[in-house]
Structure 1
Amino acid sequence: MNNTPLNGDEPLLPALNLIYYWRTTWSRVIARAWADEEFNRLLMTDAKEAFKKMGYSGESNMPTEGMVDLWKLLDIEVVKPEESPNSQYLQPEGSTNGDALQYTHNGWHQAINEGLLKMKLTLTLPPKPEDDKWNALALGDYDAAGKMYPITGC
């Protein structure tokens, strides 16, 4: 049996690599945007370039698995949350100097519950094949190309 992926199928290990580095890079991007107004402006106007500045190329290549290029699969836009006092981080009660002794809840809890930090994922519905007999194969190919995975194939 030939285990070579079909041309166009997304190899699994590079995709998992991209997801892992996406998570850590996104945290770093947030921290830098909070501290660097120029970077914040870049993030709002050209998120891909901002991610590249933080060392995230959007590409993952593994010699036996192949290459996955996230930017061929994903358009990214970063936006500011709607202006609201409830969208701010709530420091732990009784804490005035960063002391978290009274830490009883996630400081983003209220903002998240009110939907003020909601992410937006835009998915493109692929067109249905002209002949219904190809629907199952077309859906399988869509999944194998990485289009089903949030982040690796949005």
Structure 2
Amino acid sequence: MTESSSNQLKGDESPIDAFEIIFDWQNAWLRAIAIAWNDEIFKKLLVAFPIQALGNIGFSGKGTYRNAHGHCKEFSLWSLLDLKVIEATTVEQQVPITIMPTNGEYKPVINNSKYTENGWERIIHDGGLKMTLILQIPPAPKEYQALAIGDYEAAGKIFPVTGL
């Protein structure tokens, strides 16, 4: 354990472990858009059952992380996130990406005046911070679809939190 990780509390997440799921998400969402533009059956599945559709193209939403004590733990993005996908058939129909938090109250764990646990850890474990993420399939350009996917990524639209 490195010096910096010794300052971690129970419930702290390693940012390095999080990068893997972030990059997997980026690739999966871009791939899903590209397929949806060219496959009407997949697009309908993506709108109706987004988690299943993403699984069909290789994104499980599952991963592992190393907790503050160095133990590997499995997680599922879907235990933290409900996903809804809508289709924008014109540019005018496009709406900002929406994230709606559910209920959860922050409660740090303090025993004998010592802060011992990240106050969000238990809430996350119990599903209290589960959010609903609403994404949209942008309208398919008539030409230059490959370039459009690259520009979509460059515009930050693959980051649900920062691509507003």
Does TM-score exceed 0.5, indicating one fold? yes
Deviations along 1:37-87, one digit per CA (max 9) or x if unpaired, are 111010011100011011001011257543231011000000012x54xx1
1:67 paired with 2:74, answer yes
Instruction: Report the number of matched residues.
Output: 115
Normalization by structure 2: what TM-score?
0.54
Tell me the SS of whatever aligns to 2:87: coil
Structure 1 vs Structure 2: percent identity of aligned residues? 25
Q: Which residue in the other structure is 1:121 paired with?
A: 99
Q: Distance in 2 between matches of 1:62 and 1:124?
A: 24
Distance 1:125 1:40, change over 3 A: same
List aligned pairs for 1:103-114, cutoff 5 A. Answer: none
- Counterpart Cα distance in 1 of 2:29 and 2:106: 34
Asked whether the 8 Å contact 1:14–1:67 carries over to 2, the reply is: no
From 12, 15, 20, the equivalent of 2:15 is 12
**Structure 1 unaligned spans of 5+:** 88-110
Distance change in 2, residues 1:59/1:14 (3 Å): farther
Structure-1 residue corresponding to 2:37? 34
Structure 2: unaligned runs, 5 residues or longer = 131-158
Return the index of the structure with the highest Cα Rg: 1
The alignment's C-alpha RMSD in Å is 3.9
1:51 alignment counterpart: 54
Rounded Cα–Cα distance in structure 2 between residues aligned with 1:9 and 1:68: 14
Q: 1:22 pairs with 22, 25, 30, which one?
A: 25
TM-score by length of 1: 0.57
Report the CA distance shift for 1:13/1:59 in structure 2 as closer, same or farther (over 3 A): farther
Q: Report the CA distance shift for 1:128/1:9 in structure 2 as closer, same or farther (over 3 A).
A: closer
Answer yes or no: is the 8 Å Cα contact 1:59–1:68 preserved in 2: yes
